[in-house]
Amino acid sequence: MKAAVIVFPGSNCDRDMKVAIEQSLGTPAHMVWHGDSDLPDVDLIAIPGGFSYGDYLRCGAIAGNSPIMREVVKRAASGTPVLAVCNGFQIATETGMLPGALLRNANQKFICKDVDLKVVGENKRFSGAFASGQVVRFPVAHHDGNYFADDETLARLEGEGLVAFKYADANGEVSDATNINGSRNNIAGIYNEAGNILGLMPHPERLISEQLGGTDGKLFFDNLVNSLN
């Protein structure tokens, strides 16, 4: 299996993503510079966190129109799995690969902490390591992670099992009290209809060893790599 990590000039979780993928994969990931318009032939494309082009405009708005993203959209349409984390999720919504938008956090502040997430939709590739309803812990680190979609889209996401993770408590209870950033329906991550794209605000690549404070992220990547091998 081969993986590529897209690198924008303001990406800053690109190395973390590379380390996490390589820890599970055992071979190097391709780092693909935003200025390149051709992607290597890979089995997984990761769009990492950061501030793509500074994000002084809407987060991911400029990256969404970059040449490399046109290529990523094409690959995704033909079925290549795409993991879009944090700024990657924001970029994915800007391209239309995923529905909805990420607004400023309800408290108007950057939030960095570990959060409990309830695994919702079933997707063997991305969440096969976890049972539906299980609680996993990944960190968040964002200023604009407040997921918004209109009622119709929301109903479709919920109805078709496309909600991947929800902000919850340690017992899996999903409530306003566990909604860290104001996301509609506590949504932390979603799949596209075909199930080959996962966009999520939390960072699984940050909890990949006991020394870093947890291994749920390692389980996530181990499963992802195994399912694509």
139 binds another protein (CB under 8 A): yes
Q: How far is the CB of 113 from another protein (least distance, A)?
A: 5
Q: How far is the CB of 178 from another protein (least distance, A)?
A: 15
From residue 12, alpha-carbon distances to 161, 169, 183, 188, 196 in Å are 31, 28, 24, 20, 24
215 binds another protein (CB under 8 A): no
**Could you give the 3-state DSSP secondary structure of residue 127?**
helix
Can you tell me the distance from the alpha carbon of 82 to that of 116, in angstroms, rounded to the nearest whole number? 23
By annotation, the residues acting in catalysis are 86, 203, 205
Among 65, 110, 124, 133, the residue binding another protein under the rule CB under 8 A is: 110
CA 141 to chain centre: 12
Q: How far is the CB of 40 from another protein (least distance, A)?
A: 20
Helix, strand, coil percent content, the chain, rounded in steps of 5: 30, 25, 40
**How many chain residues touch another protein (CB under 8 A)?**
32
Query: 130: closest CA among 17, 216, 20?
Result: 216
Can you tell me the distance from the alpha carbon of 30 to that of 123, in angstroms, rounded to the nearest whole number? 25
Among 1, 2, 10, 153, the residue binding another protein under the rule CB under 8 A is: 10
**Interface mask toward another protein for 35-54; x: CB under 8 A:** x-------------xxx-xx
106 binds another protein (CB under 8 A): no
- Give contact residues for another protein (rule: CB under 8 A): 9-13, 15-16, 19-20, 35, 49-51, 53-56, 109-113, 139, 141, 143, 203, 205-206, 208, 211-213
